[in-house]
Chains A and B, each alone.
Chain A
Amino acid sequence: MMKKLISILKNFILNIPNTLIKPFTKIGFLASLFAIISGILVGFLIMLVVNTPYAGGGLMTIFFGGFNKGLTSIGDVLIYAAPLLLAGLSVGFAFKTGLFNIGVSGQMAFGAFLAIFVGVKWTFLGDFHWIVAVLAAIIGGALWGLIPGLLKALFNVHEVVSTIMMNWIGVYGAFVAYKAAGLVGSTTQNAQKVARSGALPAWGLDSIFNSNTINNGIILAIIAAILIHIILNKTTFGFELKAVGLNKDSAKYAGINSKRNIILSMVIAGALSGLAAATLYLNVTGETYKIETYPIEQGFEGIAVALLAYSGPLPIIASSIFFAWLKVGGDQLSGWGYDPNIIGVIISAIVYFSALGFIFKKVVKKIFKKHFGGEII
């Protein structure tokens, strides 16, 4: 029995198609899998401690909450996933080029402001309204990314410092900006909702998933991921960007203008964050921008998404959907009397375990060698 199980597992591991997980190595894929399982175990332990009898039910909810209402739940997962995907893409893209973009949140905030401004005010644009609003979001994010890019390239200011600073400028700038632009909504904490013409269209997803909140955000996000994948892996521009990211000195030796690449890289990362804000806020029935004293959380969750996917643009699609699925399940945890924030703990634990990936890799290698008698790369 055990032997059969092991042989099935061995075949599964050896047959994971390489193309599917190309930016990973197989062992990286397994390490991520271990991180996920360990993270969920941590969540389960917490539920066990808090309220033992319901822990099993809670765990099932986390796993199956994303399916329990059929297609509608899957639609919810995709709604959550779109901004996470783009935020993760922003972090992952910057990371591939050697930059740590912690400023997704601020880039989203400024993108959101321009998008909401266009979405609310420029109703005269008719059919093009939502497109212009999306472009505004992208431009806003790009501008917010440009500043740290310039600071890094020209004055060697570390992007971690400057992007964090830009996050808080985004948060507090919003207080002034929404008031000045007359975009404060029904309460002082909420921004106005955009006009229907300014909201992202559903492109038929609403009827597929039987949902009135879903829009084309997930499609835009997946297109962006594919585009970034192509840029990074198929173009001379990506060749330069990755060269700078992998070894700044050799890139310089090769005559690559690293300053230009740093700036462009931050602009693109910012643009992706801006698009994330568009998928999050350009709607009439979904999430509303909150004019409050904390940065947009999806911006930080993007770091987790990118980390779990080893920054690969295509794996980021999977990891963002996975985190969204956890969140949808987590929202239903209150039914068992648990705080939905347990999901936050699980996500954090997964991030920690991913960061400890090298230990997992060692363990996996050892186990693999012991039971299957071979090397795994």
Chain B
Amino acid sequence: MEYIIEMLNITKKFPGIIANDNITLQLRKGEILALLGENGAGKSTLMSVLFGLYQAEEGIIKVNGKEVKIENAKDANNLSIGMVHQHFKLVHNFTVAENIILGMEDTKYGFVKLDDAINRIIELSERYKLKIDPYAKIENITVGMQQRVEILKMLYRHAEILIFDEPTAVLTPQEIGELIKIMKNLIKEGKSIILITHKLNEIKAVADRCSVLRKGKYIGTVDVKDTSPEQLAEMMVGRKVNFVIEKPELVLGEKILEVKNLTVLGAHSHKPQVKNISFNVRQGEILCIAGIEGNGQTALVEAITGLTTIHEGQILLKGDDITLNSIRNKTLGGIGHIPEDRHKHGLILDYTLAENLILQSYFNPEFQKHGFLKFDAIDNHGRKLIEQFDIRSGQGVKTPARSMSGGNQQKAIVAREFDRNPELMIAVTPTRGLDAGAIEYIHKQLIALRNQGKAVLLISLELDEVLNVSDRIMVIYEGELVAEVDPKTTTENELGLYMSGSKRGVLS
């Protein structure tokens, strides 16, 4: 069998950790190979080695059977390897065409030959069925189209091997369907694809084979059509994963959170981010606010937790008006908050893990005496949470948060917020970027909280999560709640239509 890329026995070490331990990855020409693994399994490191961002200590890379040295991204480009990043690298006030040619503009007398470039872009987009408008500005097009621009960028650079890094994380169900078609077209035209993902149903839908990594080690490669999602998950996590989340009957209690006619204006533009929203969350339920990223979820949560100012409206916690209360007050009053952006809000990256785990409780008598920190107590608390929540870090409680993997950073935040035992847990995309094992764990925790009679407000972009975890779903679109549905009776398609603003439902 002919391989277009072979990475043989790759080993890459970082201080205190072996990120890739003797990993072999072989991509056949014209196939889609999924690269599956939990967070911190070594997927990104392996791809960075292929892309020349890191140099492996051991092992060789072969492209088309010939051994090559890839020392930087340019080498990778010259070998026709292209990467579609998870976070798009586009200039927002440039047009689609300008973004595609950026960095390799053909010029004549110092002027860019944009017309030639646009012709080629149109030709490429027709050939690979990537619908785009070369004259549109990036800031005015949808996320799905931005991703197509990223793909075209690679094709424009004559990439034969495309690496997709978690490509569906930002897409709606409809857009995901589109992308799957695009990937199949690319294969038909002779390209080869490596798909980095931890979503098993996507692997089932598009990939031919799947290579699995776990904790830096190579577990194996399987044919996707002969393997069930359960088997894949077991390979990835190392044990059986329970997909169906069992929830006891809903027992509704008192109203914990009441939001009344909330309006929040943007910080710079005075465009409302949240328009006249009202809802409430009761004890014992998980209310999910579903929506595509950037439809006002951030402002809504920040208004409730106190991070942003409220223009109009009222927020009640257990019947008390907390609209104008300080963040500290709200935290102590029983709000737990797993923030959307773990680097901006959730963690102080240069603090150690132990310090991050006491971020809202350092002033408790448990951790200080007369203003002096009790380091032993802080470390013990850290060790307890590390144990309880299986947070993995190189140097235990002393690990700087910055050097932890994204998944473990998130686990640290989850551990801290759960440990505070709040009445209302506001979880904003709590499983973003996490692996199946960790997602299962966090979902179980959220449901356990609900079963204890606590209230959970879940903001989620992932439809699986929305449908599986919640007791009630509200859909937010452009700052307004546009529908309320029952997860037992709705479908992904229906939700997708509400989320993209194509349909409006009834609010109770």
A375 to B15, CA, bound (A): 7
B271 within 8 Å of A (CB atoms): no
Q: Do B350 and A246 have beta carbons less than 8 Å apart?
A: yes
A348 to B452, CA, bound (A): 63
A255 to B327, CA, bound (A): 5
Interface flags, A231-254, vs B, CB<8A=1, else 0: 000111101101100110111111
In the complex, which of the residues A236, A242, A253 has the most CB atoms of chain B within 10 Å of its own CB atom? Answer: A253
A20 within 8 Å of B (CB atoms): no
List 4 extra interface pairs beyond A236-B363, A246-B351, A255-B328, CB under 8 A.
A235-B372, A239-B355, A242-B351, A254-B360
A377 within 8 Å of B (CB atoms): yes
Nearest Cβ distance between residue A236 and chain B, in whole angstroms?
A: 5
A130 to B283, CA, bound (A): 65
| Given A254-B360, A255-B326, A236 contacting B368 (CB threshold 8 A) | yes
Q: List residues of B (329-360) whose CB comes within 8 Å of A's CBs.
A: 329-332, 337, 339, 344-351, 355, 359-360
Interface flags, B297-337, vs A, CB<8A=1, else 0: 00000000101000000000000000000111111100001
Q: Do A252 and B327 have beta carbons less than 8 Å apart?
A: yes
Q: Do A235 and B15 have beta carbons less than 8 Å apart?
A: no
Nearest Cβ distance between residue B212 and chain A, in whole angstroms?
A: 29
Q: Do B360 and A237 have beta carbons less than 8 Å apart?
A: no
8 Å CB contact of B346 from A236, A240, A250, A252: A250
Nearest Cβ distance between residue B17 and chain A, in whole angstroms?
A: 12
Q: Chain B contacts of A252 at CB under 8 A?
A: 307, 327, 345
Count of A-B contacts judged by CB separation below 8 Å: 68
Q: List residues of A (253-285) whose CB comes within 8 Å of B's CBs.
A: 253-257
8 Å CB contact of A250 from B15, B345, B363: B345
8 Å CB contact of B349 from A235, A239, A247: A247
A211 to B52, CA, bound (A): 63
Q: Do B15 and A377 have beta carbons less than 8 Å apart?
A: yes
When A and B form their complex, which 9 residue pairs have the shortest distance between CB atoms, in order from nearest?
Answer: A255-B328, A253-B345, A255-B327, A254-B359, A247-B348, A250-B348, A249-B344, A236-B368, A246-B350
Nearest Cβ distance between residue B11 and chain A, in whole angstroms?
A: 15
Q: Chain B contacts of A256 at CB under 8 A?
A: 328
Q: Nearest residue in A to B370 (C-beta to C-beta)?
A: A235
A336 to B279, CA, bound (A): 82
8 Å CB contact of B373 from A236, A375, A377: A236
A234 to B373, CA, bound (A): 6
| Given A235-B372, A243-B359, A253 contacting B350 (CB threshold 8 A) | no
B248 within 8 Å of A (CB atoms): no
B54 within 8 Å of A (CB atoms): no
Q: Chain A contacts of B329 at CB under 8 A?
A: 255
Q: Do B371 and A246 have beta carbons less than 8 Å apart?
A: no
Q: List residues of A (205-244) whose CB comes within 8 Å of B's CBs.
A: 234-237, 239-240, 242-243
A155 to B348, CA, bound (A): 25
A250 to B340, CA, bound (A): 12
A252 to B348, CA, bound (A): 11
Question: Interface size for chain A: under 10, 10 to 19, 20 to 34, or 35 or more residues?
Answer: 20 to 34
Interface flags, B372-398, vs A, CB<8A=1, else 0: 110000000000000000000000000
Q: B residues within 8 Å of A by Cβ?
A: 15, 305, 307, 326-332, 337, 339, 344-351, 355, 359-360, 362-363, 367-368, 371-373
In the complex, which of the residues B348, B351, B355 has the most CB atoms of chain A within 10 Å of its own CB atom? Answer: B348
Q: Nearest residue in B to A377 (C-beta to C-beta)?
A: B15
Nearest Cβ distance between residue A364 and chain B, in whole angstroms?
A: 15
A236 to B366, CA, bound (A): 12
Q: Chain B contacts of A249 at CB under 8 A?
A: 344-345
Q: Nearest residue in A to B13 (C-beta to C-beta)?
A: A375
Nearest Cβ distance between residue B448 and chain A, in whole angstroms?
A: 24
Q: Chain A contacts of B350 at CB under 8 A?
A: 246-247
| Given A247-B349, A249-B344, A239 contacting B362 (CB threshold 8 A) | yes
In the complex, which of the residues A235, A242, A254, A375 has the most CB atoms of chain B within 10 Å of its own CB atom? Answer: A254
A236 to B368, CA, bound (A): 7
A237 to B347, CA, bound (A): 18
Nearest Cβ distance between residue A268 and chain B, in whole angstroms?
A: 15
> Can you name 29 A-B pairs with beta carbons within 8 Å?
A234-B373, A235-B372, A236-B362, A236-B368, A239-B355, A240-B362, A243-B348, A246-B349, A246-B351, A247-B348, A250-B344, A250-B347, A250-B348, A251-B348, A252-B327, A253-B307, A253-B337, A253-B339, A253-B345, A253-B346, A254-B327, A254-B359, A254-B360, A255-B326, A255-B331, A255-B332, A255-B360, A256-B328, A257-B328
Q: Do B359 and A250 have beta carbons less than 8 Å apart?
A: yes
Q: Chain A contacts of B363 at CB under 8 A?
A: 236
Q: Nearest residue in B to A235 (C-beta to C-beta)?
A: B371
Nearest Cβ distance between residue B459 and chain A, in whole angstroms?
A: 16
Q: List residues of A (61-92) whose CB comes within 8 Å of B's CBs.
A: none
Nearest Cβ distance between residue A340 and chain B, in whole angstroms?
A: 40
Q: Nearest residue in B to A255 (C-beta to C-beta)?
A: B328
Nearest Cβ distance between residue B320 and chain A, in whole angstroms?
A: 17
Nearest Cβ distance between residue B416 and chain A, in whole angstroms?
A: 10
Q: Do A239 and B373 have beta carbons less than 8 Å apart?
A: yes
Q: Nearest residue in A to B369 (C-beta to C-beta)?
A: A236
Interface flags, A352-377, vs B, CB<8A=1, else 0: 00000000000000000000000101
Q: Chain A contacts of B347 at CB under 8 A?
A: 247, 250
Nearest Cβ distance between residue B348 and chain A, in whole angstroms?
A: 5
Q: Nearest residue in B to A238 (C-beta to C-beta)?
A: B373
| Given A252-B327, A255-B328, A237 contacting B371 (CB threshold 8 A) | yes
Q: Do B327 and A243 have beta carbons less than 8 Å apart?
A: no
A242 to B326, CA, bound (A): 21
8 Å CB contact of A243 from B307, B351, B373: B351
Q: Chain A contacts of B360 at CB under 8 A?
A: 254-255
A247 to B346, CA, bound (A): 10
Nearest Cβ distance between residue B205 and chain A, in whole angstroms?
A: 38
A252 to B371, CA, bound (A): 20
| Given A255-B326, A255-B328, A377-B15, A235 contacting B307 (CB threshold 8 A) | no
Nearest Cβ distance between residue A260 and chain B, in whole angstroms?
A: 11
A237 to B330, CA, bound (A): 21
Q: Nearest residue in B to A251 (C-beta to C-beta)?
A: B348
A243 to B362, CA, bound (A): 12
Q: Nearest residue in A to B355 (C-beta to C-beta)?
A: A239
Q: Nearest residue in B to A375 (C-beta to C-beta)?
A: B15
Nearest Cβ distance between residue B397 and chain A, in whole angstroms?
A: 15
Nearest Cβ distance between residue B204 and chain A, in whole angstroms?
A: 38
Q: Chain B contacts of A253 at CB under 8 A?
A: 305, 307, 327, 337, 339, 345-346, 359
Q: Nearest residue in A to B342 (C-beta to C-beta)?
A: A250
A257 to B339, CA, bound (A): 19
